[in-house]
Structure 1
Amino acid sequence: MPARTASLLPPCLLVAALAAVPAAAGCGDSSSAGSDPPALTKAQAQGVLASFTTRADKAGRRLDHGALPGVEADPQLAMDTATFKLRRVVRQWPDTLRFGRPVFYIPRTHGYPRWFAADATTGTGKQTLRHALLFTQAKPGGPWLLTADPYPLDEALGRVMLDDDGFATPVDPGAKGLAVAPGRLPAAHARLLTDGPGAPGTSVLADGPKTKQTFDALRQGEQTLAKQGITLSSRFSAAPHGVYALRTRGGGALVWYVLKQNEAYSVSKRGRLAVSGDLVGLAPAKAVKNRLDSTVLVQYLAVVPPKGRATVTGMYRKAVSAHGS
């Protein structure tokens, strides 16, 4: 699995800083979850993680994105495929993949896809990164695939409530009794990043580096580019991927969801645009003349309380396609 960046600013700036709800997928109904069997045992989850680590590490050492479909599903697959392409162009191979101190959060579910989460770290010292891994199984007997892996800013998964047997409870995307239903988060977050924190429906999200501060940074980036003769438009929408949620202590929910960001850069004078930063490997440099369009996927992890506002606590962002004209 490749190392990543988490900036939401346009890649051509080369600076650090920064709708419809997708269909629910296998999140279960918390009202009946207590009688459902767990998606798999802890030992089986450990086996899934071990197998993924071995195969993903092998693919990473070769930067073989053709091997990723055997271990990942979208959105993770599209994002890591793009990262492999970037790394191959800049000739930067990832370090050996090792997950430390994994803790598994396995929901009691019925139907498919089945899923579970794992809290784990990679790296050491100041290079330590925390992962909120989410694996899914689409059908009986199907492979377990890494589907999402945002980077939490804190020990968010430690808030998950476990029953007497050590298993978690899924929360339905449309569940009531929360500050915001998990399934409404993608559209609300997309509207905030596109139109600002004053837009209708965005008050369910707390201010922070991945909400209001990101919107402010994007607007500042647009102004900076405008002074250079570059026009940028950026719009966010809910990506067509599942929303997954687990019950937390105190009656809240921990939620995984995905946004899509569409960016369009245009200039009247050739030579001002370039395929750079996060877009390297996605489009030929010579293809860009007066316009550059890109599609970005952003995974999020949010904590939703019973009352108040949801806090976004994790993210993984990657451009997955680019087209010059």
Structure 2
Amino acid sequence: MLVLALLAGVPPAAGCGGSNAGATGAPALLRDQAQQAVMAYAAAVGQAGDRLDASLLPKAEADPQLTMDTAAVKLRRIVKARTGTLKLSHVRVAVPRQSAYPRWFAAEGVSGSGKDALRHAMLFTQAKAGAPWLLSADPFPTDTAFSRVALDHDGYAEAVAPSASGLAIAPDRLAAAHAALLNGGPRAAGADRLAPGPKTTEAFTALRHAEAGLRRNGITLESRFSPAPAPVHALRTRDGGALVWYVLKQNEAYSATKKGKLTVTGDLVGLAPPSSVSTRMDTTVLIQYLATVPAHGGAGVTGMYRKAVAASGH
């Protein structure tokens, strides 16, 4: 699913103040305003999705979502797959108390229904006073991790500093630990800070199996993960832990001894002309993650949105 956003600026609450992490002042915007922002986002999805026009996205999104959805529009234009209207249900917001910019808030919602239901963990940011609220990230969690966010007596959340102590791992170290695990496996340095699961240890095993399968078909794949240059955001959970949004970059290099082995298919469609690929193809992938970090133990990675954003052939 292509997730787009188009939000007009929502005026901040009067008298905003306090620090960013653990602030006690007024929030960046009221909860009702955040709900309105989410609804405006959902209502505006159809315009870009129906037109399949990536030029609309800079007014709707900020990176990494902007780069990822721009690539998604390119693919959908080629396969002629329009997205239609995004209808969100069960929407709830978590607005931290902040003063400095950029400001942000998070929101959960569900699109679709039944077996097609998809849970969203949306992150909206505002770069400066009067600027629009833009969708910056939207990993898709497979559980109800968002429900664990702690709210104060007024219903507002607490932002956790990226370098916060008192957690199993500081939020700003999660990306490096996750990259180390995907590159070197569960025994890599720092990998033990992440709990085993489909998006951590099982993902490492699946990638190694995929590489072995490609080799049997005459194709070599070299893959390297690293933290992406994207801000880390975290909210306090009721157990004293944190819910964390972070991003990895994956660089892939495919090579084949014979022409015709490599083709531009799947997520890579629209990123490189098929005729440009002969015996080598290099790709860049962005992966958004949502993790629940406890005070002790391994961080559980519950959400992910992966998208190839660049490809070139030789």
Give the alignment of 1:17-166 within 5 angstroms. Answer: 28-30=20-22, 33=23, 35-166=24-155
- Listed as ranges, the gaps of 5+ residues in structure 1 are 5-26
Q: Alignment partner for residue 235 of structure 1, among 216, 224, 242?
A: 224
Aligned residue type for 1:254? L
How far apart are residue 95 of structure 1 and its match? 3.2
Give 1:55 deviation, angstroms. 2.3
Between the aligned partners of 1:63 and 1:246, the Cα distance in structure 2 is 34
Of residues 170, 174, 178 in structure 1, which corresponds to 2:159?
170
Equivalent residues of 1:82, 1:320 under 8 A apart = yes
Aligned residues of 1:56 and 1:71 also touching (Cα < 8 A): no
Trace 1:290-305 onto structure 2 (pairs within 5 A): 290-305=279-294
Match of residue 204 from structure 2:
215
Aligned length: 300
CA distance in 1 between counterparts of 2:86 and 2:294 reads 34
Using the TM superposition, give the Cα deviation of residue 265 of structure 1 relative to its aligned residue in structure 2, in angstroms. 0.1
After superposition, give the CA deviation of every residue in 1:3-37 in whole Å (9 maximum; x if it has no partner).
69xxxxxxxxxxxxxxxxxxxxxx9323xx1x222
Match of 1:314 among 277, 281, 303: 303
Shift of 1:198: 0.5
Tell me whether 1:270 sits opposite 2:259 in the alignment: yes
Whether 1:197 aligns to 2:189 is no
Distance 1:81 1:67 in 2: 9
User: How much has 1:258 moved relative to structure 2?
Assistant: 0.3
Counterpart Cα distance in 2 of 1:28 and 1:214:
34
- Secondary structure of the residue that 1:158 maps to in structure 2? helix
* CA-to-aligned-CA distance 1:128-174 (integer Å, 9 cap, x gap): 11100100001111110000000011111100000000000000010
Letter in structure 1 aligned against 2:109: A
CA contact (8 A) 1:161 1:248 kept: yes
The question of 1:281 aligning with 2:270 is answered yes
Report the 3-state secondary structure (helix = DSSP H, G, I; strand = E; otherwise coil) of the residue aligned with 1:206. coil
Note the C-alpha offset of 1:307: 0.6
Q: How far did 1:58 drift?
A: 0.8
Q: Would the aligned equivalents of 2:249 and 2:287 in 1 still touch at CA under 8 Å?
A: yes
Contact 2:224-2:252 at 8 Å conserved across structures = yes
User: In the TM superposition, what whole-angstrom CA distance separates every residue of 1:63-84 from its partner, at most 9, and x where no partner exists?
Assistant: 1111011111110011111111
Cα distance, 1:116 vs structure 2: 0.4
Unpaired runs of 5+ residues, structure 2, are: 5-18
User: SS at the partner of 2:28?
Assistant: coil
1:245 is aligned to 234
**Percent identity at matched positions?**
58
Partners of 2:3 and 2:45 within 8 A in 1: no
**Which amino acid in structure 2 is aligned with residue 223 of structure 1?**
A
Code of the residue aligned with 1:91 in structure 2: it is K
Q: What secondary structure does 1:79 align onto? A: helix
- Alignment deviations for residues 256-309 of structure 1 (CA, whole Å, 9 cap, x no partner): 000000000001211100000110010000000110000000000000000111
Q: Give the Cα–Cα distance (whole angstroms) in 2 for the partners of residues 239 and 263 of structure 1.
A: 15
Q: What do the CA deviations read for 1:192-225 (whole angstroms, capped 9, x no partner)?
A: 1011111111110000000000000000111111
1:39 alignment partner AA: A
Letter in 2 for 1:28: N
Greater displacement, 173-182 / 95-104: 95-104
**Contact 1:174–1:182, Cα closer than 8 Å, also in 2:** yes
Secondary structure at the aligned position of 1:94 is classed as coil
2:312 equivalent in structure 1: 323
Verify the 8 A CA contact 2:138 2:288 in the aligned structure 1. yes
Distance 2:198 2:186 in 1: 13
**1:20 maps to what in 2?**
none
2:161 & 2:96 partners in 1: Cα distance? 12
How far apart, in 2, do the equivalents of 1:47 and 1:208 lie?
35
CA distance in 2, matches of 1:97, 1:310: 31
**Equivalent pair of 2:45/2:85 in contact (CA under 8 Å):** no
Q: Aligned partner of 2:171: which letter? A: P
Maintained 8 Å contact 1:283/1:322: yes
Give the aligned partner of residue 188 of structure 1: 177
1:188 match: secondary structure: helix
